[in-house]
Amino acid sequence: MNPALRTGPDGIARCAWVGDDPEYRRYHDEEWGTPLHGDWALYEKLSLEGFQAGLSWITILRKRPRFREVFAGFEPEAVAAFGETDIERLMADPGIVRNRAKIEATISNARLVTAMADGELDELLWSFAPEGARARPVGFGDIPAVTMESTAASKALRKRGFRFVGPTTIYALMQSSGMVDDHVEGCHRAAG
């Protein structure tokens, strides 16, 4: 049995990182690795991946409804209008990750997104998706934390002024938004 796989109570084989958490199973089955497009959707994903830095994704996933509520649904124009009062409100909210640098980066990044042409963030991020087929990962050791593409995307975003967009964060974004498919061999979501 591949230790990178886990069969759930429903009898379905999934990537083992899912564990037994029903929300994690839903996320894995319906979102992770599914191509995601749109500036708004990718801005949200970029923001949440930034908040995840140093934490587990399940922590962010469980807090996502509250994040969406207090960050105006991650609508870039609304978040771009946030000021110091909003930062203090967010810092006092126990339902999210209360990290001032990450909160300020989310607001600053929203301002950068609103300054871009419609569709430009989507086009920029997807321009770094690797071309061609890659070998299906068999185990977790086959899945990188950083790639040439995530490093290049990180540099391009930083050059534009984005924050909390390191190569590891960007690779996680690439995985979650379907720019790469890292479902391990044998997972029911693994493409051909």
Residues identified as active-site: 27, 49, 57
* Residues in Cβ contact with 118 at an 8 Å cutoff, skipping those fewer than 6 apart: 39
Quick one: tokens of 173?
Answer: 């974004």
Rounded-to-integer distance, Cα 184 and Cα 136, Å: 6
CB of 4 within 8 A of CB of 13? no
As separate numbers, helices (DSSP H) first and strands (DSSP E) second, the chain gives 9, 2
Rounded-to-integer distance, Cα 14 and Cα 5, Å: 6
Rounded-to-integer distance, Cα 186 and Cα 7, Å: 10
